Amino acid sequence: MASLGTEGRFFFAHIHKASGTSFIQFMNKQAGLVDCEREGLTSIDHVHIGMLDGFHAWWNGSRKDCNWASTEIVQPGLSTMVHQFGGGTASPALVTFLRHPSARCRSAWAYDHRICSPPQSFSWKYCHSWFLPRYGNRTQPIRERHRQFVKEKCADFMTKRLAIAGRRDDAATVLQRLQFVGVTEYFEESLCLFLHIVGRFPHDLCTCPKAGGGLRIDAHVIPQLRSRNESASNVSLYVSDVDLARHNIRDMALHEAALSRLKLRVQMLESKLNARIWDCRA
């Protein structure tokens, strides 16, 4: 994998409920990695696809004061959009995180359930125009409502948002367009690999301690991730893992392929450094 370096520019495709916020918050603390959000080119992290005009100006302009941008993908076909605003000759390095489809769907349900419970603030319009009418109607059986949520909000969610619009790209094709793919279940290892790619690998934080325990980098980011995962487990989605897998055949394949690629690249880095990084607690 080619190094991005801090002089390069990359675009973070934020997959909903796949540790994107934790990644963004960590990156914003790194000197030399300047989020365009903080330079006024985007308003908030969760920008809509329609705001990619700002990213077009960032990519094709001569500004040097920021070198990465992000959006939470709310519509399919992100790769098409990125290539379009890349001007047709080159595009930003596309970076993302993926999560096991079943865990991502259950977390998405818990998140929507939480933001649509009182008090509601930024989520009021979404909750009252979409979530509550479709999934909060108590005249429908609860399992029927939950199955509807899975079909509409989870089915191959990741693949659809990373594919070229109008195409049924397989896992290998999707991964070919992504310069880096992290995996939520191995968040620390993913983060360390990315830091190596951008030329700022912290050896003391990203190699297994001789005294045992996990990567020390987890102290900087993981508490937020754990707290969200714990809260997600408190709201049940009454759909079996078998049914979730049936609705996510392409996403299951994408997640498996991404995990295999991640592990291989970390193993290559371990060989280069003569140090262990992967799954320190094993």
What pLDDT does 137 receive? 86
Tell whether the model's pLDDT for residue 35 goes beyond 60: yes
What pLDDT does 189 receive? 96
Average pLDDT over residues 249-277: 97
Q: Of 128, 5, 131, 115, give the one whose Cα is nearest residue 68.
A: 5
Residue type, 60: N
Q: Which residues in 216-253 are b (16+ Cβ under 10 Å) and which e? A: bbbebbbeebeebbeebeeeebebeeeebeebbebbbb
HSE value, Cβ hemisphere, 13 Å, CA-based, for 52: 22
Q: Residue 56's pLDDT band (boundaries 50, 70, 90)?
A: low
Q: What is the pLDDT of residues 198-225, one digit of tens each?
A: 888 999 999 999 888 899 998 877 555 5
Beta bridge pairs of residue 119: none
Average pLDDT over residues 38-65: 52
What pLDDT does 34 receive? 75
Token reading at 255? 């997640």
Average pLDDT over residues 145-159: 95
Tell whether the model's pLDDT for residue 230 goes beyond 50: no
Average pLDDT over residues 260-271: 97
Query: Are the C-beta atoms of 82 and 163 separated by less than 8 Å?
Result: no
Of residues 83 and 170, the one with the higher pLDDT is 170
R_g (Cα) of the chain, nearest Å = 19
Q: Which of 5-19, 29-43, 206-220, 248-262 has the lowest mean pLDDT?
A: 29-43
Q: Of 76, 100, 237, give the one whose Cα is nearest residue 169.
A: 76
Query: Are the C-beta atoms of 154 and 250 separated by less than 8 Å?
Result: no
Average pLDDT over residues 240-246: 96
Token reading at 172? 């290998």
What pLDDT does 58 receive? 61
What are φ and ψ of residue 271, in 5° steps? -65, -40
Q: Which of 24-28, 223-227, 229-233 has the lowest mean pLDDT?
A: 229-233
DSSP letters for 49-96: GGGHHHHHHHHHS---S--EEEEE--SS-HHHHHHHHTTTT--PEEEE
Tell whether the model's pLDDT for residue 111 goes beyond 50: yes
Contacts (Cβ under 8 Å, ≥6 apart) of 64: none
Q: Which of 26-30, 36-40, 86-90 has the lowest mean pLDDT?
A: 86-90
Query: Are the C-beta atoms of 169 and 176 separated by less than 8 Å?
Result: no
DSSP 131: I
* Widest CA span in the chain: 61
Q: Please tell me the total number of residues recorded for the chain in this structure.
A: 282
Query: What pTM value is reported for the model?
Result: 0.86
Highest mean pLDDT among 35-49, 110-124, 168-182, 248-262: 248-262
Query: Tokens 């809509």, residue?
Result: 48
